[in-house]
């Protein structure tokens, strides 16, 4: 007699993640995430970018613990001091410790980047899926609006919005978000136009599902992986836009230790005391590169066309 009893459940976490016969949807989803992580881990550049981002995130989170000086305390008698054991990256034009300000500046930069992503990604996903699924005049109107936003460089458009809203971190987030959603909408629209002709979408439609249910339950989830990869790649331009606004005095306001603002105040000393501008400049560069590396890795992992 053939034994048809169910196979025993795996007793270890690794066996649970590699079990060829998942016992629940949650286990199947965790197995998918595990496979994605293993694929991402084999991508050396993506792993390097992820490591850099983790270091920057830890520096931002634990800034009060690892900072060596008060970021607002001025010491005019020790202004533009060279890097030393007391001031690891030197001091700025007001005698403030650059290392400590750099750590707290990471908080502001990551706050702007992630808040912008949280705002722009859902907006772009919604507009793109609606445009691609409904088609007709809805698609025409939404894509013409999107093309108007894409016609201007993102930084120039952000400057226009923040000039109208007024300087400040929150207004900078709104301005950058208004320029960050169009590429996401174009991507989501292209994905939706392919998905809407799929057999399983036709089957769901024949079962009587409404357009809203099809969009929310079936189309949007299929677009999310591509949107995540695109948003991660967009993080570099978001950070550069935030630093540009801070550099021009339209983002974070003094004495806030935002990297763009630090770079702005250091520009007059770039020839005589280059380390003052080098620290925030390198921080902006490394963070942007790290997001690009992670975004490329996520695109390879989340795109089913990459085996």
Structurally, the chain folds into a number of domains equal to 1
At residue 57, the pLDDT reads 95
Residue range 45-53: mean pLDDT, rounded = 93
298: tokens are: 């996520």
Name the pLDDT band for 11 (thresholds 50, 70, 90): low
Q: Which of 3-12, 57-66, 169-178 has the lowest mean pLDDT?
A: 3-12
Give me the chain's average pLDDT, please: 87
Within-domain flag for 21:
no
For residue 64, the tally of other CB atoms under 10 A from its CB is 11
Q: What CATH number corresponds to the domain at position 236?
A: 1.10.3720.10
Residue range 148-155: mean pLDDT, rounded = 88
Residue range 175-198: mean pLDDT, rounded = 91
Within-domain flag for 30:
no
- b/e map of 171-185 (b: 16 or more CB within 10 Å)? bbbbbbbbbbbbbbb
Closest CA to 184 of 253, 119, 101, 120: 120
Within-domain flag for 88:
yes
- Residues spanned by the domain of 198: 38-302
- What are the C-alpha distances in Å from 4 to residues 1, 7, 28, 176, 244? 9, 9, 22, 59, 66
Residue for token pair 């930069």: 109
Burial group, residue 2, by CB count within 10 angstroms (0-12, 13-18, 19+)? exposed
241-300 pLDDT per residue, tens: 999 999 988 888 888 899 999 999 898 888 888 899 999 999 999 999 999 999 888 888
Indicate if the pLDDT at residue 306 is higher than 80. Answer: no
At residue 29, the pLDDT reads 78
254 vs 305, residue with greater confidence: 254
Indicate if the pLDDT at residue 5 is higher than 50. Answer: no
Indicate if the pLDDT at residue 49 is higher than 90. Answer: yes
Closest CA to 219 of 122, 130, 119: 130
Indicate if the pLDDT at residue 307 is higher than 60. Answer: no
Within-domain flag for 106:
yes
At residue 153, the pLDDT reads 86
Percent of the chain with pLDDT over 90: 50
Residues 6+ apart with CB under 8 A from 99: 67, 68, 69, 87, 88, 89, 279
Residue range 142-159: mean pLDDT, rounded = 90
Within-domain flag for 246:
yes
Within-domain flag for 3:
no
Within-domain flag for 15:
no
Within-domain flag for 277:
yes
With beta carbons less than 8 A apart as the criterion, state whether 97 and 279 touch.
no
Indicate if the pLDDT at residue 1 is higher than 50. Answer: no
259: tokens are: 């990297």
- b/e map of 239-257 (b: 16 or more CB within 10 Å)? bbbbbbbbbbebbbeeebb
At residue 304, the pLDDT reads 55
At residue 61, the pLDDT reads 94
Indicate if the pLDDT at residue 3 is higher than 90. Answer: no
- What are the C-alpha distances in Å from 203 to residues 191, 218, 264? 19, 12, 58
Closest CA to 225 of 140, 133, 121: 121
Indicate if the pLDDT at residue 24 is higher than 90. Answer: no
Residue for token pair 């099809």: 214
Name the pLDDT band for 203 (thresholds 50, 70, 90): confident
Closest CA to 108 of 305, 256, 276, 227: 256
The pTM is what? 0.86
In degrees, rounded to 5, the angle at the alpha carbon of residue 82 between the alpha carbons of residues 79 and 83 is: 120
Residue range 111-137: mean pLDDT, rounded = 93
Between CA 265 and CA 176 the distance in angstroms is 22
Provide the 8-state DSSP code for 30.
H
Q: Which 3 state secondary structure label does DSSP give 8?
A: coil
Q: How far is CA 203 from the centre of its chain?
A: 35
At residue 171, the pLDDT reads 92
């Amino acid at each position: 007699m053939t034994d048809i009893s169910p196979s025993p459940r795996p007793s270890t976490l690794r066996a649970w993640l590699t079990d060829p016969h998942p016992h629940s949807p949650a286990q199947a989803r965790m197995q998918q995430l595990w496979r994605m992580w293993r694929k991402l881990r084999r991508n050396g550049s993506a792993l390097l970018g992820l490591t850099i981002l983790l270091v920057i995130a830890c520096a931002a989170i634990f800034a009060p613990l690892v900072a060596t000086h008060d970021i607002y305390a001025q010491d005019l008698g020790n202004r533009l001091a060279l890097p030393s054991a007391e001031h690891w990256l030197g001091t700025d034009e007001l005698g403030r410790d650059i290392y400590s300000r750099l750590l707290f500046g990471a908080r502001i930069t990551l706050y702007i980047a992630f808040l912008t992503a949280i705002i722009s990604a859902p907006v772009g996903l919604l507009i793109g899926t609606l445009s691609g699924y409904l088609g007709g005049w809805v698609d025409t109107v939404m894509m013409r609006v999107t093309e108007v936003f894409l016609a201007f460089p993102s930084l120039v458009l952000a400057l226009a919005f923040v000039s109208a809203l007024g300087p400040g971190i929150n207004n900078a987030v709104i301005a950058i978000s208004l320029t960050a959603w169009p590429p996401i909408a174009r991507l989501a629209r292209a994905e939706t136009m392919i998905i809407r002709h799929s057999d399983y979408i036709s089957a769901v439609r024949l079962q009587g599902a409404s357009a809203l249910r099809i969009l929310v339950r079936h189309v949007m989830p299929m677009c999310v992986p591509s949107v995540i990869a695109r948003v991660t790649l967009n993080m570099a331009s978001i950070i550069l836009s935030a630093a540009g606004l801070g550099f021009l005095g339209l983002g974070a306001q003094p004495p806030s230790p935002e990297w763009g603002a630090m770079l702005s105040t250091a520009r007059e000393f770039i020839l005589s005391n280059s380390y003052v501008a080098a620290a925030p400049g390198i921080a902006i560069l490394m963070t942007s590169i790290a997001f690009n590396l992670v975004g490329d890795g996520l695109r390879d992992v989340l795109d089913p066309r990459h085996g």
